[in-house]
Amino acid sequence: MAIYFDHAATTPLAPEVQEAFVAALATVGNPSSIHSHGQASRALLEDARERVARELGADSAEVTFTSGGTESINTAIKGLYWERQSDRRRNKIVVAEGEHHATIAAAEWLEKQGAEILWVPLDEYGRITPDALRQVLENVDADEVALASVIWVNNEIGTVQPIAALADVADEFGIPLHVDAVSALGYVQINFSAQPLAALSISAHKIGGPVGVGALILSRNYEVESILHGGDQQRGRSGTMDVAGAVAFASALELSNAGFEERNEYLRALRDRLIDGVQQSVPGAVLRGAHPTSERASGNVHFTFEGCQGDSLLYLLDSKGISVSTGSACHAGVSEVSHVLLATGLDERTALGALRFSLGKNNTEAEIDELLAVLPELVEIARRAGVQSAS
């Protein structure tokens, strides 16, 4: 029997969302067209935009649909950076260590164009503290900073960042803050207007929507330079608008928010059952990420297993029908050493023993127990296979 513990990678398409998606796919007409077909499509699209805005505490004018999290993040970071050069040179970007690669790679690409990255360190639990952000901003001329970007929930270790407090610090220095909320969606209540944010990125497939749909929530107070040039169909984005994708995203978001409390309570219980079980039965397993579980995403369990290589464990679990992840980015099928774990102070060898179990609402206690029944033995086997490194 197959068990799926990789909801942070992607989630199953919810049946209700699939139904809405398929129905919307049948709509004929480009929403930018002037005729009645176009207007009918436009109505569906704008309805979806309003629904998304309502669910996130934003204005519909602030919602730009994109192809997903990576496009949203790239548009926010590059777009804000370029836009912020229009009245004076602001070549500094403030980025936290341990961000998703979409953020890091976008910032590092700008670095090649002359930007300077100021890194905000993480603490041992993966937290970005308001003090750490303040320290970086106090040591720089704030007028030279184009933007700051932080992740709301770390996609590997599940640490929930104090976004309201971080937003206040950025606001105090007059710096626009972008929040990567791709892995936060569905796990924290997002109210865009509750704190001073410039932009926020989300993706539908993390909450039971289809892959290939995302949104950039861009405050009225900011503009971005587009990265996709063309017909200017939306704020900060050109390209024919994906009506069905937008409808599916709106449905997924409403469904996710409607079941928010109940789902997260359920996931917290599952999560804690798994954490307790691993800690009791697997010597050398160390929980990574935030320990006060209030600062940990409800679906995230992340351990390092001493003396193991994550990919050995991943294979062994897969051979038992259990899908998990090493958590870190993959390059051509190889898990990289987690830059997040390194940023929390771990050495490379320890970081290679990482495994992330990300839970979803369809997981059951029985599945957790099934995992716990095989994990201690598999860790022993993986330990015998050792860690592949040069030494």
Partner 1 sequence: MRILAAMSGGVDSAVAAARAVEAGHEVVGVHLALSRMPGTLRTGSRGCCTIEDSMDAQRAATTLGIPFYVWDFSDRFKADVVDDFIAEYEAGRTPNPCMRCNEKIKFEALLNKAIALGFDAVCTGHYAQLRRDEAGNIELHRASAEAKDQSYVLGVLTRDQLEHCYFPLGDTPSKALIREEAERRGLGVAQKPDSHDICFIPDGDTRGWLAEKVGVRPGEVLDQDGNVVGRHEGAHGYTIGQRKGLHLGVPADDGKPRFVLSIRPVANTVIVGPKEALAVREIAGGRMSWAGEPLSHAESLFACEVQIRAHADPVAATAQLVPVTERTEQHRAEAEFEFVVTPDEPLLGVAPGQTAVLYQGTRVLGQFTIDRTVSAVSPSAVAGVNA
Q: Which residue ranges make up the site for partner 1 (CB under 8 A)?
A: 311-312, 314-316, 318-319, 332-335, 381-382, 384-386, 388-390
308 belongs to the catalytic site: no
CB 199 within 8 A of CB 71: no
Q: How far is the CB of 367 from partner 1 (least distance, A)?
A: 20
Residue 184 in tokens: 């936060």
Between the CA of residue 189 and those of 6, 54, 80, 160, what are the distances in Å? 21, 13, 25, 11
In the bound state with partner 1, the residue whose beta carbon lies nearer, of 258 and 334, is 334
What does the alpha-carbon distance between residue 266 and residue 105 come to, in Å, rounded to a whole number?
35
Backbone angles phi, psi at 385, to 5 degrees: -75, -15
What does the alpha-carbon distance between residue 240 and residue 31 come to, in Å, rounded to a whole number?
8
What does the alpha-carbon distance between residue 32 and residue 138 come to, in Å, rounded to a whole number?
46
In the bound state with partner 1, the residue whose beta carbon lies nearer, of 169 and 352, is 352
Task: Return the closest-CA partner of residue 136 out of 154, 151, 118.
Answer: 118
Between the CA of residue 86 and those of 75, 342, 365, what are the distances in Å? 16, 36, 55
In the bound state with partner 1, the residue whose beta carbon lies nearer, of 103 and 312, is 312
What does the alpha-carbon distance between residue 288 and residue 13 come to, in Å, rounded to a whole number?
29
In the bound state with partner 1, the residue whose beta carbon lies nearer, of 348 and 369, is 348
CB 81 within 8 A of CB 87: no
Between the CA of residue 157 and those of 81, 117, 154, 221, 265, what are the distances in Å? 28, 23, 6, 32, 19
What does the alpha-carbon distance between residue 230 and residue 241 come to, in Å, rounded to a whole number?
12
Q: How far is the CB of 319 from partner 1 (least distance, A)?
A: 7
In the bound state with partner 1, the residue whose beta carbon lies nearer, of 319 and 364, is 319
Q: How far is the CB of 158 from partner 1 (least distance, A)?
A: 25
Catalytic residue among 258, 330, 366, 381: 330
Q: How far is the CB of 148 from partner 1 (least distance, A)?
A: 31
- The alpha-carbon radius of gyration of the chain (Å, integer) is 21
Residue 331 in tokens: 């390059």
In the bound state with partner 1, the residue whose beta carbon lies nearer, of 177 and 317, is 317
Q: How far is the CB of 316 from partner 1 (least distance, A)?
A: 7
Q: What strands, in cross-sheet order, belong to the sheet with 300-305? A: 285-287, 300-305, 354-358
Q: How far is the CB of 295 from partner 1 (least distance, A)?
A: 32
Q: Tell me how far apart the terminal alpha carbons of the chain are, to the nearest angstrom.
A: 39
CB 166 within 8 A of CB 94: no
Q: How far is the CB of 287 from partner 1 (least distance, A)?
A: 25
In the bound state with partner 1, the residue whose beta carbon lies nearer, of 269 and 334, is 334
DSSP state of 332: T
Q: Which positions are catalytic? A: 330
